[in-house]
Structure 1
Amino acid sequence: MPSPQAFISSQASSPKRLLASALGLALLPIAAHAADADAPKEDQAKKLEGVKVDATTVNSTSPKFTAPLLDTPRAVTVIPQAIMQETGAVSLLDALRTVPGITFGAGEGGNPNGDRPFIRGFDSQSSLFIDGVRSSGSQSREVFDIEQIEVTKGPSSAYTGRGSAGGSVNLVTKAPKAQNFVTGSVGVGTDNYRRGTVDWNQAVNDDVAFRLNAMAHENDIPDRNGPDFSRWGIAPSVTFGMKSATSVTLSYYHLQSDDTPDSGLPYNNPFAATSPNAGLNGNGEPIKVPHDTYYGLLKRDFQKQKTDVGSIRLQHDFGGGWLLRNTTVYSRVTNDYIWTQPDDSQGNFLVNGGIWRRNNNRISAVTALTNQTDLTGEFETGAIKHSIATGIEIGNEKTHRSSYSVDPAVNAADTHNTGSIVNGACTRKYGIGAASNYWCTSVLNPNPNDPWSGLISGGLNPVRVTTDTRSAWAFDTATLSEQWLLNLGVRFDNFRTRSTSVTTATNAVATLKNDSNFWNYQAGVIYKPVSNGSIYLSYGTSSNPPGVDAGDGSDAIALSNADLKPETSRNLELGTKWDVLDNRVSLTAAVFRSEKTNARVALTGVRGGPMANVGEQRVDGIELGISGNITAQWQVFAGYTYLDSELVKASPAAPGDQGNQFPNTPKNSATLWTTYAITPALTIGGGAYYMDKVYGNTANTKWVPSYTRFDAMASYEINHNLTLQLNIQNLTNKYYFDKAYASHYATVAPGRSAILSANFKF
């Protein structure tokens, strides 16, 4: 195993300087602890980090939740930092793998290449939040500065505003604390895995604390023969007034990545009866080739992302349970990429053994300025106690996106860069390889190192989108008695979006707009048969206007939907929550129905054609969950979700879809992560993740098969300051797919990998 110094020296220049500086700063307080090295050791049973015999149940940080999660009538899953560390999660996708009922969608065309979770069958790309403030812009999110992740399920616009048809995800960042500590990790592994993190918290005095998180990371994607990840990040924050009634927290976050994206595999496409290849129909699953088959072009493909977020949070405690918070956040997110989509929509795979290296690309920059004020407090009206939360939000988001011109044709007769079945690159006129300038490659023997000499120029078809929101909300949990509670909530949103686009070829300018005002509601009744258990019945709604993504997601405003009303969803849920074993373990169960009653659907089969609010979608489901320490040695974090989805009323352009299953919605999914402390020093753990068959399209003709993946972990505490941790992910090297796109391809999940980390704390 390389030393930490060897690891640091191997990084790119920027990550190298970053991590070296961060570790250098971190070592300052470490020196102060050196004198304590010979102090008597604690009792071995008390040294077990993460193994607790007291209460371990967790709660949400959202001020809109006016009661503990036990008494909140919603299905909410909290992923603590300990679970992320034990499972070896380094991204949002890794972390959400531990929550059943969540899948990830792929990027293509109007869907940018970035985080795109589906919760209970509904696209939640535009329902991601950081510390309760909307996270705008397509991006792939890290977890090095994350304390916990909170997943709220079911239509929940009363809490989060536009979108949230299936739920929302809130990432809680690491804030300064009134104590001194340094933690971090240095890891190496297979597939050139190298990662270093540091988390330094310093109490400057009784009233001021500073915290710095930093990270550098790189790895190849296991068993994929080309794609890789490389990124670094830094997140400093400082709080003034730690012990005062009034405090101010200033924070900044920077993440920068330079990746080679994965191209995935094409579906073995079923062709329409009118297609010249109708007699060669495939079955709709991804083609069967070796796991490491990669159709990308390493000399052409790239993805560069940059995220900068600055925030100011002011907080004042009036006493008597009343707290006022004001948060101002400015962010800028850029996403710049060209990557290969292996396109077999023209039948090359079946006709002549070729794969068309279609390119997807985007140049986007999203800036957002948000000011959010929350007031929480308690009061009584007679015998009824009220816990309330009220707030207002003002936000502005601006998106500028364009695309690349990639190896354009030199004249009208030049079709080397198209995938036409009649005379395209993989058929008669142009062949596989140099004749098509490597736009076409072999199905069975692609060479990702093929040369590339095509001209690439940016600024094609620019689009500018401006989105303004004005919101206000109020929530109340009324304690009617020891057994009965009533939860009520309402939110109003004023949503305005404007889009101006230019078609480069004709200089034609199109201006679109959508103005929407919408109310959303949350209501729930909670019965507590005992103090540590609750049974609830809740109702909640959501609204999804055209342009909900502020111009950089999968639901942009377009000519076909500009004048439409927001889609509306509703959720009816019956659930129960129990904190058992001295509040060490949380048990949850829920049955629910989520409906979208005026979904936007196409009226014709023409892409970009008119749309109307006439669709209807429904999901009936069951969710079960368990988390906590069953004994002092045994920890479990697990869940199961059943989703019965149905397109109740399909598009008039595709009546045959009616009754079909939602895309990206498995009927059954289950996750399990468990650890057991064999000795005070040695802990072993393992994970199992099951996902049912998933369809990529509403016609249910493109799909990826079910899978079960296993992970393993072992950690050994050398001393109080240093623990070694070994993670083996995808233990059996399962060949499966973790993203399914509607038309062309599915993303291959990484193969087996092993990572050895040295986790330190002082």
Structure 2
Amino acid sequence: MRAYARKALTPFAVAGVAGLAFAPQLALADDVAADAASEVSGVQVEGHAALKPTSPKYTSQLLDTPRNVTVVPRVIIEQTAATSLADILQTSPGITFGAGEGGQPLADRPFIRGQASANNIFVDGVRDSGGQVREVFNLEQVEVIKGPDSAYNGRGSGGGSINLTTKRPRLDEAVSISAAAGTDGYMRGTIDANYPIGDTSAIRVNLMGSQGDAPGRDAVDFDRWGAAIAAGVGIGTDTRITASYYHLTANNLPDYGVPLFTKLPGVPRTKSGVLNVSSNAFYGLKARDYQKSEADIATLIAEHDINDAITFRNVFRYSKTLNDYLVTNPGDGGAAQFVAGEWWMKRGTKSRWNPTTTVANVTDFYGKFTTGGVEHSYDVGLELSRETNRNASYVIYTTAGAACPAGFTNNSTAAGVGDCTRVFAPTPSDPWQGVINRPDASVNYTKTVGIYAFDTISFGDKWLLNLGIRHDEYSMHGIDVSSVTSALGVITGATLTPREGDWQFTNYQVGLVYKPTPNGSIYASYGTSSTPPTISGGDQNTTGAGSGNLANVLLDPEEVTSAEVGVKWAFFRERLSTSAALFHMKRENAQILVDTGIYAQVGEAMVQGLEIGVTGRVTPAWMVFGGYTYMDSELVRGAFNGVNQGQALANTPEHTFSLFSTYNLTDALSLGGGAYYVSDSFGGNQGGAGGGANRVVAPAYWRFDAYVAYRIAENLDLQLNVKNVGDKEYIARTNGQHHADYGPGRQAILTLNVRF
């Protein structure tokens, strides 16, 4: 029996699937009894039509979809005062975030069921390429599908994918203005204005500006603004067209947290492996470090109802994004040195210039028809895309800065100059002067042609068969720039390595649903996914160049398979929706080191577990949204040295729990909050200093948020959020070899909402 069978799921877990069933996958209440309570401090809790994926690939309602699909509605985004993708996804257990370092960019890096999923983020069903730090001001909802989803979305990591659904024009006139202020210099303003133009056309404008400091972190701050405009014609008719444009500019002082114990030779290791320094210690340089993130996305969506059985939908997208940063990595400047009675360290740097351009077109034909007494709900489609991804690291040379103390050795710059700081009292305001040059960038061109088909076949009222298949032709070619030579910041040469490859892969899913009652379903499903080697890095597409034989060889796609059984149930006239699922996922053909400098595709990893959650209203006044995930993970076969084999996977905690809940004490006053738990989580599966018995861990933690809202008038309300009420110091993520990132400290935010 294989190693991963050693941990069996408990009988209680199995009973949970068969009975209790809690998962945020269905609709909020829409029955008449709840109408009077459908507003929480002026924020409309929309009916269940708002809580379903927008893609026609979902050919049945979520109650009858044999997959774990979580929809985070706008009301949760607003009530939790979320401003980033990380804020939103904390409400969906089983998702963690990884830290940036080296090939992993400083950008959104979600892990779903233990699999890196930064390459699996979509906007309105189209892949959102390029490393980014995403905003939420223009989002209607966020949809998370867990498990292998290549049948839905083509190439992927196998853990799942995230789709961001943007706001679209409507035929009702509405204007919402929010102004927020908080501790740590927080300020934010948003405008959401929708205006009908005639009987079937409308325009919608969303604006955002925000700035502030990172709670609990010295010097770290952000400043961003965004705008989105969408125009729709033919709304409510057989032919509908929506054109939209989105822009975001974000300027941040980036943060790579605190170093690990490995950077102080001879100092005893802490239990977690994170250096015992103040949680607000910041090792970066305000005079040098920066991160600029930009996004410009233009989208055209056309829909036409051909007849009662066929609807045509086409989405065209042109987007340009930029992830541009220079950040101090406290664990990458070499070992600290004990000089003149103090520990000193040299500041290391990581940098990236990564513009990405995407042109994509997705065409669907979908609808319903009945033949021979069997009902079909189907979708067939074609995806075409071309992505251009450039990637360069800056060449940085310090001419004047914080001097290293006399006696500090291995200083790579002129004597007395070297970007040094005290380990236990870093000074981010140190001066810096120098040269920052960008060499030629590696460039990667990828093309995707994907054709897919889905069908939900209904055999009467009790049984449904869900089928999906997709075939992809995926190719890349580009040039990798490496071995840059420089002196005094002047670039004198580089090594250019042409690379190209193409792959064909077919993935499928099959699910069987049994409906004992109209408001419940029991299901079993099986699905596959393919991960080409050129998307295994932190960017959406990299040239894939690596060490050893990978400098000249592109391996085949990794393969992921997953089996899932679950139950979904709606209670109280569908006010409360619940679900639970058991899953077993296996990654095979994984790239691992089999000998010195030699990589081969013989690795294997496993994740199995239980997901439970709940969405909706227990009573007309009591709203809940959250869940629990248990993940038992194992690196079944790893590197040839055997150090990491049998370890739990990085960024895959056994237990995660989240619950956000509000209660309407009166028609005007609502109270609530959130509780979040994450168990121990390892930072990597390395050998050597970062692996084996020395693995770095983010310790388990509980964090609590508070919420109160008061309606002053029919169109005016106040909302107070206190995040991390107990000011808990916790490690949000670790790199595993270089640094660990602390989560935000306590922060209070007061928001005034006005609606017209």
Q: 2:512 aligns with which of 525, 529, 540?
A: 525
Q: Do the aligned partners of residues 555 and 532 (structure 1) sit closer, same or farther apart at CA in structure 2, a change above 3 Å counting?
A: farther
Give the alignment's Cα RMSD to 1 decimal: 2.5
Q: 1:295 aligns with which of 283, 292, 298?
A: 283
For the residue of structure 1 that corresponds to 2:533, the secondary structure is coil
Give 1:702's aligned residue.
696
Q: Deviations over 1:678-715 (max 9, x none)?
A: 11000011101100111111136111111111000100
- Tell me whether 1:238 sits opposite 2:206 in the alignment: no
Partners of 2:619 and 2:84 lie apart in 1 by: 29
Give 2:95's aligned residue.
102
Q: Deviations over 1:507-561 (max 9, x none)?
A: 3321111211000001000000000000000001100001126983486511544
Q: Deviations over 1:393-441 (max 9, x none)?
A: 110000122121111699xxxxx999xxxxx999633689996535221
Q: Do the aligned partners of residues 47 and 475 (structure 1) sit closer, same or farther apart at CA in structure 2, a change above 3 Å counting?
A: closer
- Tell me whether 1:254 sits opposite 2:247 in the alignment: yes
Q: Displacement of 1:378 after TM fit? A: 1.1
- Tell me whether 1:448 sits opposite 2:428 in the alignment: yes
Give 1:678's aligned residue.
665
* Structural mapping, 1:82-97, within 5 Å: 82-97=75-90
Partners of 2:179 and 2:283 lie apart in 1 by: 33
Partners of 1:246 and 1:53 lie apart in 2 by: 25
Q: 1:473 aligns with which of 445, 449, 452?
A: 452
Partners of 1:158 and 1:697 lie apart in 2 by: 29
Q: Do the aligned partners of residues 45 and 674 (structure 1) sit closer, same or farther apart at CA in structure 2, a change above 3 Å counting?
A: closer
Assess if the C-alpha contact under 8 Å between 1:54 and 1:583 holds in 2.
Answer: no
Give 2:13's aligned residue.
none
Q: Do the aligned partners of residues 297 and 241 (structure 1) sit closer, same or farther apart at CA in structure 2, a change above 3 Å counting?
A: same
Assess if the C-alpha contact under 8 Å between 2:142 and 2:164 holds in 1.
Answer: yes
Q: Deviations over 1:33-73 (max 9, x none)?
A: xxxxxxxxxx9867654576976882221211100000000
Partners of 2:228 and 2:676 lie apart in 1 by: 32
Q: Do the aligned partners of residues 270 and 109 (structure 1) sit closer, same or farther apart at CA in structure 2, a change above 3 Å counting?
A: closer
Q: 1:116 aligns with which of 89, 109, 115?
A: 109
Assess if the C-alpha contact under 8 Å between 1:285 and 1:705 holds in 2.
Answer: no
Q: Displacement of 1:563 after TM fit? A: 2.5
Q: Deviations over 1:262-283 (max 9, x none)?
A: 1201111299xxxxx4785555
Q: Which runs of 5+ in 1 are unaligned?
A: 1-42, 272-276, 411-415, 419-423
Partners of 2:170 and 2:526 lie apart in 1 by: 37
Q: Deviations over 1:327-358 (max 9, x none)?
A: 10000001111011111684317786223311
**What is the one-letter code of the residue matched to 2:601?**
N
Assess if the C-alpha contact under 8 Å between 1:425 and 1:436 holds in 2.
Answer: yes
Q: Do the aligned partners of residues 386 and 426 (structure 1) sit closer, same or farther apart at CA in structure 2, a change above 3 Å counting?
A: farther
Give 1:12's aligned residue.
none
* Structural mapping, 1:695-734, within 5 Å: 695-698=682-685, 699=691, 701-734=695-728
Partners of 2:537 and 2:384 lie apart in 1 by: 15
Partners of 2:414 and 2:741 lie apart in 1 by: 27
Partners of 1:265 and 1:55 lie apart in 2 by: 44
Partners of 2:166 and 2:251 lie apart in 1 by: 23
Q: Do the aligned partners of residues 528 and 427 (structure 1) sit closer, same or farther apart at CA in structure 2, a change above 3 Å counting?
A: farther
- Tell me whether 1:369 sits opposite 2:359 in the alignment: yes
Q: Do the aligned partners of residues 583 and 448 (structure 1) sit closer, same or farther apart at CA in structure 2, a change above 3 Å counting?
A: same
- Tell me whether 1:348 sits opposite 2:344 in the alignment: no
Give 2:754's aligned residue.
760
**What is the one-letter code of the residue matched to 1:564?**
L
Q: 1:750 aligns with which of 744, 753, 756?
A: 744
Q: Identity of paired residues, percent? A: 41
For the residue of structure 2 that corresponds to 1:142, the secondary structure is coil
Assess if the C-alpha contact under 8 Å between 2:105 and 2:538 holds in 1.
Answer: no
Give 2:324's aligned residue.
336
Give 2:462's aligned residue.
483
Q: Do the aligned partners of residues 47 and 301 (structure 1) sit closer, same or farther apart at CA in structure 2, a change above 3 Å counting?
A: closer
Q: Larger relative contact order (C-alpha < 8 A, sep ≥ 6)?
A: 2
Q: Displacement of 1:454 after TM fit? A: 2.0
Partners of 1:264 and 1:290 lie apart in 2 by: 11
For the residue of structure 2 that corresponds to 1:630, the secondary structure is strand
Partners of 1:292 and 1:221 lie apart in 2 by: 10
* Structural mapping, 1:150-169, within 5 Å: 150-169=143-162
Assess if the C-alpha contact under 8 Å between 1:399 and 1:551 holds in 2.
Answer: no
Q: Do the aligned partners of residues 186 and 642 (structure 1) sit closer, same or farther apart at CA in structure 2, a change above 3 Å counting?
A: same
For the residue of structure 1 that corresponds to 2:639, the secondary structure is coil
* Structural mapping, 1:397-476, within 5 Å: 397-407=387-397, 428-429=408-409, 437-458=417-438, 460-476=439-455
For the residue of structure 2 that corresponds to 1:84, the secondary structure is helix
For the residue of structure 1 that corresponds to 2:75, the secondary structure is helix
Assess if the C-alpha contact under 8 Å between 1:432 and 1:442 holds in 2.
Answer: no
Give 2:626's aligned residue.
638
Partners of 2:711 and 2:620 lie apart in 1 by: 17
Q: Deviations over 1:704-760 (max 9, x none)?
A: 111111000100000111110000001000101112113101111111010000011
Partners of 2:396 and 2:73 lie apart in 1 by: 44
Q: Do the aligned partners of residues 426 and 618 (structure 1) sit closer, same or farther apart at CA in structure 2, a change above 3 Å counting?
A: farther
Q: Do the aligned partners of residues 337 and 630 (structure 1) sit closer, same or farther apart at CA in structure 2, a change above 3 Å counting?
A: same
Partners of 2:476 and 2:124 lie apart in 1 by: 24
Q: Deviations over 1:577-610 (max 9, x none)?
A: 11111111110100010100111112345xxx43
Q: Deviations over 1:209-230 (max 9, x none)?
A: 1000110000100121101111
For the residue of structure 1 that corresponds to 2:63, the secondary structure is helix
- Tell me whether 1:60 sits opposite 2:53 in the alignment: yes
For the residue of structure 1 that corresponds to 2:351, the secondary structure is strand
**What is the one-letter code of the residue matched to 1:724?**
L
Assess if the C-alpha contact under 8 Å between 1:432 and 1:440 holds in 2.
Answer: no
**What is the one-letter code of the residue matched to 1:144?**
F
Partners of 1:551 and 1:587 lie apart in 2 by: 34
